[in-house]
Amino acid sequence: MGIYEFQLLNKHDQYQTLFSQGTFVDVRIENHYRYAIYSLHQFWVQVSYNQNTNTIEHITAFIAGPLLDAFATDLTNL
């Protein structure tokens, strides 16, 4: 599955695919948010979790860029 096929899935199927096939890489915390990054096939997925409301607010697939840069320091230690 490529990034475009993943993005075409509905949210439920995105979550199911990510959590069954993805590999957890790291988490970072900013204010009341936890941002978890996963590797899935040949792309990355960030899950934004609001700790105050106990909900997942966003799921974002990407290949490179600022979202990955935020985790870059931790990824170099893998």
The answer to whether 43 touches 67, Cβ cutoff 8 Å, is: no
Q: What is the pLDDT of residue 38?
A: 95
- What CA–CA distance (Å, rounded) separates 24 from 17? 13
**What strand order describes the sheet that includes 43-50?**
23-30, 33-40, 43-50, 55-62
20-74 per-position pLDDT tens digit? 999 999 899 999 999 999 999 989 999 999 999 999 999 999 987 666 666 665 5
